[in-house]
Chain A
Amino acid sequence: MPLIWVLLAVAALAGIGYLAGRRRALASAGGDPRRLHSLPSYYGLNVALTVLTPALAVLAVWMLAQPALIDARIAGTIPDTAIAEAGDRSLVMSDVRRLAAGLDSAVAQGVLSRDEVAGLRAGATDIRAALGEAGVALGSDVKPEVLAAAQSYRAMARTGTIAMDALVLLTALAGLGAALWMTDADFRARNVVERGVLALLIVAALIAILTTIGIVLSMLFESAAFFRQYPWTEFFFGLTWSPNFRGNSDLGIIPLLWGTLYISFVALLVAVPIGLYAAIYLSEYASTRVRSVAKPLIEVLAGIPTIVYGLFALITVGPFLRDWIAQPLGLGNSGASVATAGLVMGIMLIPFVSSLSDDIINAVPQAMRDGSLGLGATQSETIRRVVFPAALPGIVGAILLAASRAIGETMIVVLGAGAAARLDLNPFEAMTTVTVKIVSQLTGDTDFNSPETLVAFALGLTLFVITLGLNVLALAIVRRYREQYE
């Protein structure tokens, strides 16, 4: 039965459990709630939670595991001949999955009846046309092995779902029974419930760790697959990037890293002076009124989504730089370039640098400024010679964080920097980055298990490690700096 019904059934059981638990507890105390250890509602909650939690856990685990398990079973039944023809087991498997989903969809829409589907033969019926009517597109005609595998897939999925539903409902009922049996006046319901809630809280907190583990594992796994097909030395030290869907690609990361670092450098060149000077002016010189207007306005720049910046780069900044600077100087005729992406990214980073620097500058104690002013220094001398050097570690940390943000940025470079991987010093040339290629390799037409697609995971892993390193370093510097003053 559909998922929503299972969920509703479990929820209904939980509701019943709550009411039953309360009644039973009150009954065991002779109707007097004061004789109960905990408030009646805790007894009810105890039952409800005991119904919900194990059942939902079983549901979640089963739903995540079922596709993988079925896949593994079916993959084992595919004859080697079919694999040889298609080139890869996973290609065949994806055909199987698509066919299975298509058949399900055809039945659901009424294009094919259940019996018709059961009686399908690959050669006899034109399956492709039939599915086409149901809105399912198949790339080629259906082979008999694939049809057989798809039919077993569907059968296994059906049995699996029924088994899952049964198990979940059983678990819920078992929970109901066990909890009700435990319920009586002396049962410390509140403590049990609170321990349960605490466990749930811990699970929520662990999701953060799970996410990080998920990120690392997912990339490691696929990167390992990539490095099995492509030598890591050529990836990390290769100077050419030119993927070829026929194979024999050059997949060196150096041109991409160069583009990334060059653009980030230009972005910082724009953002750091403007951000720093703006922060200094707003915190040391500006009147409260100016500050209360200008600071939030600059913060608005930080809230604008990067796709907007990307479009800005594509339709305004790019043509402007090309028409007014690059072409007249003969330096290039592309709207997409390092200068375009760098300039726009720099604008995006201004509030980042500015607000971080503002915090850091304000953390320098006023006593230090007073000491300098008392000696007869001007305000700018105080800032340049006392405040800024004192704040320097923190500001370096802020710059590192901004660099990390620039390196990981995607949409601005996708729209503003172009797709050409090259090692060039001319800032008016289009130069692509690591992030652009991750997007293009993963959304392209190449087969998933080819090195041209898997390289995206290796790129992602490299990007993750670099930004993680920068972030950790930056946060360590900023934290050590703050300890100095607290």
Chain B
Amino acid sequence: MARHAPHIADVKVSARDVNVFYGETHAIKDVDVDILDKTVTAFIGPSGCGKSTFLRCINRMNDTIDIARVTGEITLDGEDIYDRRVDPVQLRARVGMVFQKPNPFPKSIYENVAYGPRIHGLARNKAELDDIVEKALRRGAIWDEVKDRLGAPGTGLSGGQQQRLCIARAIATEPEVLLMDEPCSALDPIATDQVEELIHDLRRNYSVVIVTHSMQQAARVSQKTAFFHLGDLVEYDDTDTIFNNPKDSRTESYITGRIG
């Protein structure tokens, strides 16, 4: 299990001996990984290898599934997020998530983005909330397209716009880590392009973890890549190394298309 020894200050999320069980099924086996700050990390692997499952551990979304059980340690800035004292609600304000299929609320664009800040009480008055919404929409690279119709329903946008709206919504709470679960798989190529460009910009402010089934996408957007296979973290290294000089034979098989 190769691992790039990080400078401690760079590590944002750190996982040690993480196992995930769905009922009897052992979905994630003994995973150790360090996600670095202000970096885009890609999780790749064939279908069903557990990359989404592991992603969902980082913001404890697996808690919503009754039969899921997580063991091991995952820390955010050194604090174990599975500690009994931690409220997932607070965690998710700092670790945001974007889903595979765009899921804007049936509310206005403004209200979609304002939702997170509202429930976490991040704005003291309307003016502050307006600022937060504008900042998020700008960072989500969608401000120019919607600034004149913030009251329009979020569901009325095109697929790519909806996903950028969802990204803006997720970053409105100023998370430090942004988890993206195959964010482009439901989008057409042009929209995919827009989102990938956005991801480039996002890494200036956030630590991004993106699950993708497209190796080309991983190669385009990420600096670090982790290859999962059948629940194991097979190899984790710089993206260049994974794709040009993989150390594990399974990684090579996947890259060259022999498996997956």
Contacts and interface: CB of A to CB of B under 8 A. Distances in A.
A and B touch in the complex (CB under 8 A): yes
A374 interface: yes
Contact of A371 (B64, B89, B90, B99): B99
B119 A368 contact: no
A210 B250 CA distance: 72
Contact of B116 (A365, A375, A484): A375
Contacts of B92: 373-376
Contacts of A367: 99, 101, 103
B89 A378 contact: yes
B96 A374 contact: yes
Interface stretch (B165-173, B231-239, B252-260): B165-173
Interface string B167-200: 0011001000000000000000000000000000
Interface string A334-374: 00000000000000000000000000000001011011111
Interface string B58-100: 0101001010000000000000000000001111110011010
A370 B96 CA distance: 12
B48 interface: no
Q: Summarize B's interface: helix, strand, loop or mixed.
A: helix
B105 A374 contact: no
Interface residues of B, number: 27
Contacts of A368: 103, 105-106
Chain A contact residues: helix, strand, loop or mixed: helix
B61 A375 contact: no
A371 B119 contact: no
Interface string A385-411: 110011000000000000000000000
A170 interface: no
B120 interface: yes
B173 A371 contact: no
B21 interface: no
Contact of B119 (A287, A370, A375): A375
A375 B99 contact: no
7 contacts: A368-B106, A370-B64, A374-B59, A375-B96, A375-B116, A385-B115, A390-B105
Given A376-B91, A376-B120, A389-B107, 20 more contacts: A367-B103, A368-B103, A368-B105, A370-B99, A370-B103, A371-B99, A371-B166, A373-B61, A373-B92, A374-B61, A374-B92, A374-B96, A375-B93, A375-B96, A376-B93, A376-B116, A376-B173, A377-B116, A386-B105, A386-B115
